[in-house]
A = this chain, B = another copy of it.
Amino acid sequence: MLLYAIFLVAIVAEAMTGAMAAGRRDMDLFGVCFVACVTALGGGSVRDVLLGHYPLSWVGHPEYIWFTAGAALAAALLAGVLRYLRVVFLLIDALGLVAFTLIGCNVALEAGHAATVVIISGLITGCFGGIMRDLFCGDVPLVFRHEMYASISLLVGLAYVVLRHFAVPEGAAVVGCLIGGFCLRALAIRYDWHIPKFVYRDKP
């Protein structure tokens, strides 16, 4: 239930970040809604397609499309205001990243997949929306160059799998991972933590 409530808030926030990215590329309102839906629902869709988990979330719950498209149009209208809410967005996005990851882990756990696949499933759910947003906007995905983002999704997935493996009840594991992951992400943003880059040039 908690996870579901956070999920709804998070898809709205993700949709808004998608809409902003589309606005930076001067897309029309249709493009804005499309990029917003892909950002908010793309991670879960890719996960479901890769795991063969049908129907996809937005096919079973078409209202998610309305939420995200509505959030995108609201973002386009209120862009001047949202500018000043950057920190709020970063925090909701941090919570959303953890919530998406846990939802992705649960989908793979319920399908009985191996631990590696469970963690990957969480990672895809958490990060692929942002990757696809950047792809459709013609950028090299930010996820791969930013402060710790995908790595936090990975750590949260790992922690959740370990907790569930040692029979920690689902509720406790979810709350623990949410709090831990959120704090880690907030610290990563605050202190600008990065994981090392690999810089390679063909000419030595």
Contacts and interface: CB of A to CB of B under 8 A. Distances in A.
Interface of A: 19-20, 22-32, 34-35, 45, 49-52, 54-56, 58-59, 62-63, 65-66, 76, 79-80, 83, 113-117, 120, 131, 135-141, 143-146, 150-151, 154, 194-202, 204
Contacts of A136: 131, 135, 140-141, 144
A200 B24 contact: yes
B120 A65 contact: yes
Given A50-B49, A113-B59, A138-B139, A19 B66 contact: no
A198 B143 contact: no
A1 to B, nearest CB: 24
A63 B115 CA distance: 11
B56 A45 contact: no
A28 B59 contact: no
